[in-house]
Every structure is written in C-alpha cells, then in structure tokens.
Structure 1
Amino acid sequence: MTDLSQFPITKKWPAAHPGRLQLYSLPTPNGVKVAIMLEEIGLAYEPHLVKFDTNDQLSPEFLSLNPNNKIPAIIDPNGPGGRPLPLFESGAILIYLAEKTGQLLPKDPARRYEAIQWLMFQMGGVGPMFGQVGFFHKFAGKDYDDKRPRDRYLAEARRLLGVLDGHLKGKSWLVGDEYTVADIATFPWINNLIGFYGAGELVGYADFREVDRVLQAFLARPAVQRGLKIPARG
C-alpha cells in the first residue's frame, strides 16, 4: 500500500485511496483546470476540497505542499522514478499530467510548443486580467467612484479576448484541430468571466463570436461538465 505519511497535508486531508493521485483544490477557474484534465485523461485521482471561507489554504498542512497558498496542488504517488511527486501551479500540473500520460500535448515538437505558448498566454494574461475585472465588477467596483482601476483591467481583458477571437478564426481549438492543455487552461476563465463574474456585458462579450463558438464546444465535452464541479463544494 502506498504510504503518503511523509506529506503533512495528508494529516488534514487523509487519503482514502493513497495509490491514486491526490488533488487539493476548489472549483474555481484555476482549480477546475486540473479536475477537467484528470477527467479527460482518465487517470484515477482523489479530490480534496480546500475551503477558502475557513482559510484552509493558509493552514500549515496546505502550506507544506504549496507555500504560495494557492490551489490547485497535487501529490502523485506514482511520480517520476516511482516516487511520490508533490506539485503546485496549475500550468505546471497540466504539463506534467500531459507528459505523464502522453495525452493533450501534441507529439509534433513545433505544435507542442505552440500549445505551451497558449498555455503561458492564459497564465500570464487571461487569468490575471479576467480575475481583476471580475473582482472590480462583482465585488469591489460599486464601492469606488474612481473607475480607472476597473477600466484599466477591462481594456486589457477586451484586448486579450480580441487576440483569442482573431486566432480562433477557422480553428476548432487554440492549436488548430487538436484539443490540448491550452484549451483546458483558457476556457474555464472565459466561462467564469461571463458566468460567475457576470461581466459579459461589461466586456462586450457578444463581439467575440469565435471565442464563444469554441467555449460552447468546450462546455459540451462530458469531461468538462464533470470537472467543473470537482471537488464538490461542502
């Protein structure tokens, strides 16, 4: 039987199935990336809910796995060399799982780096900017008369949507006809922007028809529908 006792996080979130990959997460745009990936590749895993309302992410046990106190994080009991691998940062986890299973990263080297390029585009631009727009629109914007902070992020979010919209013309996914980790990283953020944040009208989402076309194809995937709800909120 796999022994994960060396990892303090398992004291707070015991592993009922220590032979499976352990996922510590919350169904936010970053969190569901890994859940969707795991559902797509069919790798056995055990999800654990990290509750922000009780500051689970600041607990010593969680910080022992991710000192940056962000979800998601994983422990793969069957990591490189057969040794357990702890890992955080959603983009790094997606690349790791793709390489571990040989799925959702193109085999062709040039296309592989194209997928990684768009994954980095999400991590460096789409996630941070959409998150700031959502924060000011849903939570903080009404408290401030000065709309310049919101509008700065709004302008950048529209620019990024425009980049995606132009790129997706004539393509099924971000890397042509091949569904990859880049799509799994990007479209949960777009879905969250117009869904949870309710910022579709604010950003003029109706202008970006190519983005919405691919978003709908993404949401139609059964693995995506399952992953968007994992871990189940308690």
Structure 2
Amino acid sequence: MIDFYTWGTPNGHKIRIMLEACGFEYQLHRVDILNDEQFKPEFLAISPNNKIPAIVDHDGPNGEAISLFETGAILLYLAEKSGQFMPTEPKAYWQVMQWLMWQMGGFGPMLGQAHHFNKFAPEPIPYAVDRYCKEAHRLWGVLDKQLEGRDFVCDQLSIADFAIFPWANRFEFQKIEPDQYPNVAAYIERMKSFDFVSKGLEMPSS
C-alpha cells in the first residue's frame, strides 16, 4: 500500500496520474495547502521541504517502508517499482530523462511563477507578469517543436508526459491560448483521453 499526500496542483496531478496508470493500490491523503497543512509536523516528517506531493510506500526496497518527496524522484521510483513508463534501452532512457529534467528545471518552475503573478499575487507586478508570460511562451514553443510528428513527448508514453502534461493543462493560468501551439493543443486532448489521466486530475476529496 502507498500513502499518497497531495493537493489539486499540477505537481500533485503528476503522481496521481502515475499511480493510476500503473494500477498501484494507494490511500489518498489531502493536504490543504491553502490552509497551511503542509507545515504540520506529521507532514514535514515525510516531506521536509513542506511541498506536496509525497508518498510513503509501505512495501519499499527490501520490504521496508520508504517515504519520498520531489515529483521527479517519485516518478522514477514508481517507474522502477512497476517496470512501466520508463524505457530501459539506453538512448530512449536518456531521452525521457532529459525531458523529465526539462520539466523539473524549467517548464514547472517558470510556469509556476506565471501562475503566481497572474493569479495569486496580492497586487499586480507588471514586470513579473511580462517576464514569466514571455518565458511561458518560450517554453511552450520548445514543447510544440518537440511534439511535431509525435503523439508523446518521447517515442512512447512515459513519465516525461506525466510530468509535463499537468503543467500544460493549466494554460489559462499562464495566459496561453493553446491554439497558438497546435501540437501542444492536440497533445493535451490526447492525454486527457486516457481514463487514468482523467482520474489523476480529480481534486482530492479525502
């Protein structure tokens, strides 16, 4: 059994999509970040960086429990545990790995800043809005080019898609019109057609 601590954010969606896609049995625990539940001592014991999501796998390596935070680490762990969504052939493996790192190092953090300054900043800061909206468009352009002639970010459905898609799916927070990026727009609809993705996008209710 895996205990899964999450909230309705793109980072939370990443892991729930992976859990659903792999068919893992998990117990969902809602961490209401709007009410600072991420700072409770019991959650900090699992995720010392006070960020969701996090997991506790009670059947971890050598049959021992293991707790993990940071979505890239969790996705890689679940891929290895399940033997799914991460190719083993070296060239394909590193292709997926580089796009996972691209999401973690740029696509997520920069779009997260766009979300903040467009939607949640207590007062408008035009310079920040302009900076992060421009960067959002640049990153969407990179993704659109990569998706040209492809169904998925790499040669097959992988953890790179589970990392990237939830951020692209929040395009309205980034002041992005998906039709400007037709390959990404088609990709979003393609990903949403999977039942496990629809389940993964649900707001935590327990």
Q: TM class, shorter-chain normalised? A: over 0.9
Q: Is the 8 A contact 2:96 2:160 kept in 1?
A: yes
Identity among equivalent pairs (%):
43
TM-score (norm 1): 0.84
Q: Which residue of 2 aligns with 1:163?
A: 142
The CA deviation at 1:219 is 0.7
- Listed one character per residue, the Cα deviations across residues 25-68 of structure 1 (whole Å, up to 9, x for unaligned) are 11210001111100000011111000113211001111111110
TM-score (norm 2): 0.95
The size of the alignment, in residue pairs, is 206
Q: Which residue of 1 aligns with 2:190?
A: 217
The CA deviation at 1:230 is 5.0
Q: 1:55 aligns with which of 36, 40, 44?
A: 36
Question: 5+ unaligned residues in a row in structure 2: which ranges?
Answer: none
Q: Which residue of 1 aligns with 2:165?
A: 187
Q: How far apart in 1 are the matches of 2:134 and 2:203?
A: 32
- 1:90 correspondence with 2:90: no
Q: Is the 8 A contact 1:51 1:57 kept in 2?
A: yes
Q: How far apart in 2 are the matches of 1:24 and 1:70?
A: 10
Larger Rg: 1
Q: How far apart in 2 are the matches of 1:32 and 1:57?
A: 17
- 1:114 correspondence with 2:87: no
Q: 2:126 aligns with which of 147, 151, 167?
A: 147
Q: Is the 8 A contact 2:171 2:178 kept in 1?
A: no
Q: How far apart in 1 are the matches of 2:86 and 2:204?
A: 24
The CA deviation at 1:204 is 4.2
Q: How far apart in 2 are the matches of 1:222 and 1:71?
A: 23
- Listed one character per residue, the Cα deviations across residues 128-170 of structure 1 (whole Å, up to 9, x for unaligned) are 11111111112228x23x5111111111111110001111101
Q: Is the 8 A contact 2:171 2:177 kept in 1?
A: no
Q: Is the 8 A contact 1:30 1:71 kept in 2?
A: yes
Q: Is the 8 A contact 1:47 1:230 kept in 2?
A: no
**Letter of the structure 2 residue corresponding to residue 55 of structure 1:** D
Q: RMSD of the TM alignment (CA)?
A: 1.4
Q: How far apart in 2 are the matches of 1:193 and 1:150?
A: 15
